[in-house]
């Protein structure tokens, strides 16, 4: 891991999750109910519902 100009660069070498938050072997965010810290407003926010699929939603703007 290194620190360069305000950017932290690292490598994930291991991950683990309790089976109660897995669906088909993958972390299910609906079960996990993650919380993120918003430094701009100094608040914690819950991750919300799915609003679109990656790589598909933006296509309508480029076609």
Q: Is residue 34 scored above 70 in pLDDT?
A: yes
**CA–CA dist 47, 57 (Å, integer):** 19
- Host domain of residue 26: 18-48
Residue 42, pLDDT > 80, answer yes
The DSSP code for 29 is H
pLDDT above 90: percentage of residues in the chain: 56
Inform me whether the pLDDT recorded for 60 exceeds 80: no
3-state secondary structure of 21: helix
Residue 23 included in any domain: yes
Q: Would you say residue 58 lies in a domain?
A: no
With cut-offs at 50, 70 and 90, classify the pLDDT of residue 21: very high
- Residue 41 in any domain: the answer is yes
Query: Which pLDDT value is given to residue 63?
Result: 66
Whether residue 1 contacts residue 9, with contact meaning beta carbons closer than 8 Å, is answered with: yes
Q: Is pLDDT at 1 greater than 70 in this prediction?
A: no
């Amino acid at each position: 891991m290194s620190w360069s100009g305000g950017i932290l660069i690292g490598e994930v070498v291991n991950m683990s999750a309790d089976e109660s938050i897995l669906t088909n072997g993958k972390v299910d965010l609906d079960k996990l109910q993650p919380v993120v810290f918003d430094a701009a407003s100094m608040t914690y926010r819950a991750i919300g519902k799915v609003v679109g699929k990656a790589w598909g939603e933006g296509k309508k703007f480029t076609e």
